[in-house]
Amino acid sequence: MAGLIQNSLPVFDGKNFEDWCVKMDAILGFQEIDEIAKVGFKEPAKNDTEETKKAYKENKKLDCKARMILHQCISATIFQKVSKATTAKETWEILQDGYGSAGNVKEIRLQSLRRQYELLKMEEQETVDGYIGRIQMVVNAMRACDKVVKDKKIVHKILRTLTPQYDHIVVAIMENRDLEKLKIEELQNSLEIHEQRLLERKTAEQDAVQNINQALQAKTQRGRGTDRGRGRRGGRGGKFGHYSSECWHNENAKKGTNEEANLVKEELESDSDNVLLMTISGNNDKERTVQNRHVQRRNSVGDECAEKVGETEYVSLAGQTLHAKEEDTTWYLDTGCSNHMTGNRKWLLDLDTSVKGTIRFADNRYIRTEGSGKVMITRKNGRPVFIHNVWYVPTIKNNLLSLG
């Protein structure tokens, strides 16, 4: 038993003196020498009885034992301050006067602890358990300085200094619970349950974003590449930007279409996708504008396109779809638009109407965005996920997911 205690003795190094005293009270009490260390003993007089002198020798032995334990429980630096003490009581009093909460030392320390308590607030990435633990440490130190801190004051402090993500649960607790009777442990349990739900929701959103990114990456890799037109030569002059079978100067291409020159037809994995963007290159110094083009892919109708043809200019377009049905829940994958877009306001959660801007088309037309929010969708397993940074564009008819 003695070996076990010796291996687990707390060592005081000048910090957390109150905690060290609590541990030492237990150790000295277990060894039955706490009274010797704190009260001391008297030396016998010359005319005292033999029993008194025998008791003195026993107390002297216990005093040496108490001093030995105290010496083992302080660092080398602290030992220099008590090395001249001849009794355990004198050693204990030196430590109390230097680091305890007596007199002016107590008042100065209490002022410092009050300031720490006032400045306490929850950090952004801090857990509920970690934050309440920090508050309890300061409160315990204040109570060690004889400061009375009631639990209801701590409850109000916790509710007042949580991060904004706990605002709605704080309101619910304040409206439905009696704060005068609410225990700190009960409050902590309620907050930790809410914290767990927040973590689960955050994990689900991260998984959804990762799955969407992987799906979009796989979709683009199965296409013909990301350059959309670069490296594809036409039938006249070997110009890049289109296939020879679709070249404007190809007679066969002229028969079936009207001004479909330089448009690159891409294969879609879905028979109902609407095509919104193309890449083209022009001929020498000529510039031509092709507007209101319906590009068909496997019996699907594309949206209104506009492309300006130049010698070295490659244009990637995101068109404004005009043939969509109302309340269309389909989302189209588009590499031409820079952001996710929807015209359905009621889908948007946490809509920030202060985020405004304009979207420019290749024919120099502009439409305005009226805010930004997030859209909740449901996965096949029934779990909800969110698409963030979705622009609200009232005039757009289709819902676009940006692959750009």
d(C-alpha 141, C-alpha 115), whole Å: 12
Closest CA to 263 of 272, 250, 273, 271: 250
Residue 350 pLDDT exceeds 50: yes
- DSSP 8-state assignment for residue 233: B
Closest CA to 78 of 11, 13, 10: 13
| Residues whose CB is less than 8 angstroms from the CB of residue 69 and which lie 6 or more positions away in sequence, other chains included | 9, 27, 28, 31, 33
β-strands 366-369, 357-360 pairing? antiparallel
What are 359's two structure tokens? 């979207």
d(C-alpha 369, C-alpha 333), whole Å: 19
Q: In this structure, how many other beta carbons lie within 10 angstroms of the beta carbon of residue 332? A: 21
Of residues 364 and 175, the one with the higher pLDDT is 175
The backbone region for 389, taken as left when phi is positive above 0, alpha when psi lies in -120 to 50, beta otherwise, is left
What are 275's two structure tokens? 């095509």
d(C-alpha 307, C-alpha 288), whole Å: 8
Q: What are the tens digits of pLDDT across the range 260-310?
A: 434 334 433 343 333 344 333 333 343 333 333 333 333 333 344 333 333
Of residues 82 and 360, the one with the higher pLDDT is 82
d(C-alpha 65, C-alpha 144), whole Å: 27
Phi, psi of 7 (to 5 degrees): -75, -15
- Reduced to 3 states (helix: H, G, I; strand: E, B; else coil), residue 24 is helix
Q: In this structure, how many other beta carbons lie within 10 angstroms of the beta carbon of residue 369? A: 18
β-strands 384-392, 340-342 pairing? parallel
Task: Please report how the helices 128-144 and 151-160 are oriented relative to each other, as an axis angle in degrees rounded to 10.
Answer: 140
Residue 312 pLDDT exceeds 70: no
**Residue 206: per-residue pLDDT:** 79
Instruction: State how far the alpha carbon of 153 is from the alpha carbons of 123, 158, 184, in Å.
Output: 20, 9, 10
Q: Is the separation of the CB atoms in 319 and 361 below 8 Å?
A: yes
Closest CA to 9 of 27, 21, 22, 25: 27
What are 289's two structure tokens? 């504008």
**Residue 154: per-residue pLDDT:** 94
d(C-alpha 36, C-alpha 375), whole Å: 72
Closest CA to 225 of 263, 266, 270, 261: 266
Q: Is the separation of the CB atoms in 355 and 372 below 8 Å?
A: yes
Residue 103 pLDDT exceeds 70: no
Residue 153 pLDDT exceeds 90: yes
Residue 140 pLDDT exceeds 80: yes
Residue 97 — very low, low, confident or very high, per pLDDT cuts 50/70/90? confident
Span 136-144, average pLDDT? 88
Q: What is the pTM of this model?
A: 0.39
